[in-house]
Structure 1
Amino acid sequence: MAVAGDEEVSHSHGMPPASTAQNQKLDAGALFLIDVGGGDGAGSWLHCGYHLTTSIVAPALLSLPFAFAALGWVAGVVCLVMGAAVTFYSYNLLSLVLEHHAQLGRRQIRFRDMARDILGPRWARYYIGPVQFAVCFGAVVGQVLLGGQSMKTIYVIARPDGTMKLYEFVIIFGAFLLILAMIPSFHALRHINLISLVLSLAYSACATAGSIHAGHSSNAPRRDFSLPNDNQDRIFGIFNAIAIIATTYGNGIIPEIQATAAPPVTGKMFKGLCLCYTVVAVTFVSVAISGYWAFGNRAEGSVTYNFMLDDGTLLVPKWFLTMTYVFILLQLSAVGVVYLQPTNEVIEGLFADPTKPQYSTRNVVPRIIFRTLSIVIATLIAAMLPFFGDVNSIIGAFGFLPLDFVVPSILYNLTFSPSKRSFLFWLNAVIATVSSALAVLGSISAVRQVVLDARTYKLFADV
């Protein structure tokens, strides 16, 4: 188990050895929540793959046809492929850095641990830590909002004249997520995340089949693949689309996921990434291409919205659309609880007593109180701000792009010091530089979209 000195101790019963507890300040967040190596040594590369897939292959991928609408066929496919290649490469770089430090006897189990050891404590405290927290908690709020919207859609399909409001469904979904939030550790989510992997394949298949069916429907709107005529709209649309694609590939918790693997960790994350990106290839490509083919530049923020016309006409059978949203709804809960882990880890580190057993009253009571509080806050934000997707775009551009594209290249170059004449050094430098520019431009585009949409903002709006 990890301690403040990053040594490993045994806690087969959730209790560290007395000598260790007396001589060192234990890190309760690492000890209880990240649960290095799964505690019982069962964390395998398959489990890493399940965690990775849940954190990346999420319902956000249903927005890919919308991104294609701003890019067109050629640029859309190029950005989709480049996003996969760069993120796979970057995540592997992070894994190699983590493996290197583990072999030196200092296993880094959190993003801020990497930043502290390689960049310095100020970078960890004032940049990496806060940005990761904002990105992950923003993702939790986003999943709660999407869960509420999915529940409302199912409700509207069943009862078109129903009177329940969006914020009511958001609260219901938040209550459900609260139950899952009590699962004690990251490693304990492995079976849920396996189910999540299957669900992602299921709703992606439904979205693809639904798009193909709708594209051949006589009621479908005429396809138009033209791009915006206004140069300003086109430029900002391109940057926004790139930010959407980059955020869709976003992860932000690679060190925490790798920490669940049992030692030795060498090669396990690479295998997990291969499993994850096999699912990515199947889901991202099929949804993006079929959705854009079916709806062109009319593709909406989620391709499933295109299955319902403004006059209430459904382009797919009612049972099929309901089934699709059930799959989405169930996976959203898994994604939400995965991105809640950094928040839980911080809470555990602040309020738990590592010298007491994990399931002692002293540790269980504050865990329940503060995890409940974090879910209540996320649910309240989601209910109040049904336009949170716009805010999350800013968080994604400002957070996911640096964490997943820029920082890995910098950490690798600083750790391994490749020759400045080598291809690897300059490849990493180019990725970091270009990604930094895209992060700035994507943030500007996202802020502009918030300003444009501000006229329709209303707290607790029923959208």
Structure 2
Amino acid sequence: MCFASVAERKKMVSSTPQQPKEIPSDETWAGKGPSRQGKWWYSTFHSVTAMVGAGVLSLPYAMAYLGWGPGTLILALSWCITLNTMWQMIQLHEIEPGVRFDRYYDLGRHAFGPTLGAWIVLPQQLIVQVGCDIVYMVTGGKCLKKFMEIACSNCTPIRQSYWICIFGGLHFFLSQLPDFNSVSGASLAAAIMSLSYSTIAWVGSLSHGQVPNVSYAYKKTSSIDYMFRVFNALGQVTFAYAGHAVVLEIQATIPSTPEKPSKVPMWKGAVWAYFINGICYFPVALIGYWAFGQDVTDNVLVALQKPAWLIASANLMVVVHVIGSYQVYAMPVFDLVERTISKRYNIISSGIVLRLIVRSAYVAFTLFIGVTFPFFGDLLGFFGGFGFAPTSYFLPSIIWLKLKKPQRFSRSWIINWACIVVGVFIMLASTISGLRNIITDASTYEFYS
């Protein structure tokens, strides 16, 4: 794919500087650019849907390996770092006058050059988006299974693999929706559900109270295994802050003029999203760990049994949420693949046949991986480190240093380098540990059971 240079783009828009222009390149494939009709609250519920997802249910499990002090510190530090890097991305969306970088990929190419930028940003973004969708396949299937077990205790049990397939089957239809704006309703419902089931998770844990002989001691295992599990817990926390992979795509839906740039409503929506994020994450992590201690499962809802109707409702809410979240992360992937095929083979990119083939193949792929490796906690750690740490923790800081060039040893310079160091450590540690734990757990797992 080829994009116009920044100089060429400036030239294109110089005649009418009053308003940012659509760029007549791959960004507007098939004569269609992103719809600029979004409001600030669109960015709120899209961001909540992107961030507050499956990862929140594993936070008590991460706390069981990190402990009270380090666990709370990591949660708070991650919240602050990723809020800062999200602010940076929102500011960089229109860093060049008259040009809007509507995709993380476009911003990366602008910062590092057409070739290097593509290799740096695109693989990481795809890992986040595809990784999220794989985890959401597993989460949706598991929660459907749990819902039916509670709602119909006398029904014949069905294999978990079948439930994941049932959940995946829904997306063969939903994936045919054309763009971000078309999934706004599903995204809003998902955001409401995420707040609801997170509240149920911590209120249910509080009502449940501490289990008998609750222990907050570190889990007993070998030193090597424990080290890997701690690193995996870091990845699970990282997975909970995944919204950066789609933040520019969300901002692209908001109109922008010199008088009212898109960064103002987008930042307002992001702040509200992070507020909701905080009231979901911290109570679930801390109260869930308080109730179950080191014996908490990697999905805290599974540990809760009563009241049955409430826990069943919470699991169903998770299903609704991950339905919307799957589409939020899948839409940029669909856009990229369809644009690439359209350009390479000179076909109508918005054609129904192309959409049907590409999107159905993607859903089938994520479904297959989810059914084959349904290790919820390990998947969170692996994808959290491999893709989420770069896109959420340190790539925005690297781009900021590259484009803004803050003075050496200034506050901005120090903060950005601190984010880079922390992010790189988390990426390396949690990726290696997550992969190791998947291999270890797979050795005792009966596939497609």
Does the pair score TM above 0.5?
yes
Do residues 438 (structure 1) and 449 (structure 2) align? Answer: no
1:183 to 169, 177, 182: 177
* 1:29–1:348 CA contact under 8 A, matched in 2: no
1:343-387 CA-partner distances (Å, limit 9, x unpaired): 1111220344899998xxx62221122111211221122223223
Q: 1:304 matched to which residue of 2? A: 301
Q: 1:267 matched to which residue of 2? A: 264
CA distance in 1, matches of 2:71, 2:347: 53
2:125 to 123, 126, 132: 132
What is the aligned residue count? 427
2:382 to 384, 394, 398: 394
Q: 1:211 matched to which residue of 2? A: 205
* 2:193–2:318 CA contact under 8 A, matched in 1: yes
1:186-225 CA-partner distances (Å, limit 9, x unpaired): 1222232222221111101111121112116xxx442110
Q: Which runs of 4+ in 1 moved over 6 A?
A: 5-8, 353-358
Query: After the TM superposition, which of the residue ranges 270-279 and 127-136 deviates more from structure 2?
Result: 127-136
1:167 to 157, 161, 170: 161
CA distance in 2, matches of 1:416, 1:459: 50
CA distance in 2, matches of 1:5, 1:110: 15
* 2:298–2:377 CA contact under 8 A, matched in 1: no
Note the C-alpha offset of 1:126. Answer: 2.2
Taking the TM superposition and a 5 Å limit, the aligned residue runs for 1:41-190 are: 41-101=36-96, 104-157=97-150, 158-159=152-153, 162-190=156-184
> Alpha carbons of 1:176 and 1:31: their partners in 2 closer, same or farther (altered >3 Å)?
farther
CA distance in 2, matches of 1:93, 1:396: 20
Query: RMSD across aligned C-alpha pairs, in angstroms?
Result: 2.6
* 1:239–1:445 CA contact under 8 A, matched in 2: yes
* 1:95–1:270 CA contact under 8 A, matched in 2: yes
Q: 1:414 matched to which residue of 2? A: 402
Q: Secondary structure at 2:94's aligned position in 1?
A: helix
Consecutive unaligned residues of structure 1, counting only runs of 5 or more, are 9-19, 308-313
Do residues 196 (structure 1) and 190 (structure 2) align? Answer: yes
* 1:66–1:300 CA contact under 8 A, matched in 2: yes
1:221-247 CA-partner distances (Å, limit 9, x unpaired): 421101135543443333222221111
Note the C-alpha offset of 1:440. Answer: 0.8
CA distance in 1, matches of 2:119, 2:263: 30
> Alpha carbons of 1:114 and 1:290: their partners in 2 closer, same or farther (altered >3 Å)?
same
- Counterpart residue identity of residue 431, structure 1: C
CA distance in 1, matches of 2:233, 2:154: 33
> Alpha carbons of 1:338 and 1:422: their partners in 2 closer, same or farther (altered >3 Å)?
same
Q: 2:234 matched to which residue of 1? A: 242
1:232 to 221, 224, 227: 224
* 2:338–2:355 CA contact under 8 A, matched in 1: yes
CA distance in 2, matches of 1:299, 1:191: 34
CA distance in 1, matches of 2:423, 2:30: 31
CA distance in 1, matches of 2:278, 2:180: 25
Q: Secondary structure at 1:228's aligned position in 2?
A: coil
- Counterpart residue identity of residue 124, structure 1: G
Percent identical: 26
* 1:87–1:404 CA contact under 8 A, matched in 2: yes
> Alpha carbons of 1:166 and 1:29: their partners in 2 closer, same or farther (altered >3 Å)?
farther
Note the C-alpha offset of 1:52. Answer: 0.6
> Alpha carbons of 1:374 and 1:402: their partners in 2 closer, same or farther (altered >3 Å)?
same
Query: After the TM superposition, which of the residue ranges 289-298 and 149-158 deviates more from structure 2?
Result: 149-158
* 2:149–2:157 CA contact under 8 A, matched in 1: no
* 1:418–1:424 CA contact under 8 A, matched in 2: yes
Note the C-alpha offset of 1:24. Answer: 5.4
Note the C-alpha offset of 1:336. Answer: 0.6
> Alpha carbons of 1:174 and 1:391: their partners in 2 closer, same or farther (altered >3 Å)?
same
2:331 to 334, 341, 349: 341
* 2:55–2:237 CA contact under 8 A, matched in 1: no
Q: 2:278 matched to which residue of 1? A: 281
CA distance in 1, matches of 2:254, 2:51: 18
CA distance in 2, matches of 1:204, 1:317: 16
Query: After the TM superposition, which of the residue ranges 203-212 and 121-130 deviates more from structure 2?
Result: 121-130
Note the C-alpha offset of 1:421. Answer: 3.1
- Counterpart residue identity of residue 273, structure 1: A
- Counterpart residue identity of residue 226, structure 1: A
Q: Secondary structure at 1:99's aligned position in 2?
A: coil
* 2:382–2:434 CA contact under 8 A, matched in 1: yes
* 1:200–1:328 CA contact under 8 A, matched in 2: yes
CA distance in 2, matches of 1:269, 1:327: 27
Q: Secondary structure at 1:126's aligned position in 2?
A: helix
Query: After the TM superposition, which of the residue ranges 248-257 and 56-65 deviates more from structure 2?
Result: 248-257
1:63-111 CA-partner distances (Å, limit 9, x unpaired): 111111111112111111111000000111111111322xx22211111
2:247 to 242, 254, 267: 254
> Alpha carbons of 1:291 and 1:389: their partners in 2 closer, same or farther (altered >3 Å)?
closer
Q: Secondary structure at 1:54's aligned position in 2?
A: helix
Note the C-alpha offset of 1:339. Answer: 0.8
- Counterpart residue identity of residue 79, structure 2: A
> Alpha carbons of 1:235 and 1:381: their partners in 2 closer, same or farther (altered >3 Å)?
closer
* 2:67–2:216 CA contact under 8 A, matched in 1: yes
> Alpha carbons of 1:46 and 1:29: their partners in 2 closer, same or farther (altered >3 Å)?
farther
CA distance in 1, matches of 2:248, 2:59: 27
> Alpha carbons of 1:330 and 1:139: their partners in 2 closer, same or farther (altered >3 Å)?
same
> Alpha carbons of 1:5 and 1:183: their partners in 2 closer, same or farther (altered >3 Å)?
farther
Q: Structure 1 length as normaliser, TM-score?
A: 0.86
1:308-338 CA-partner distances (Å, limit 9, x unpaired): xxxxxx3x12211111111111101001111
* 1:29–1:346 CA contact under 8 A, matched in 2: no
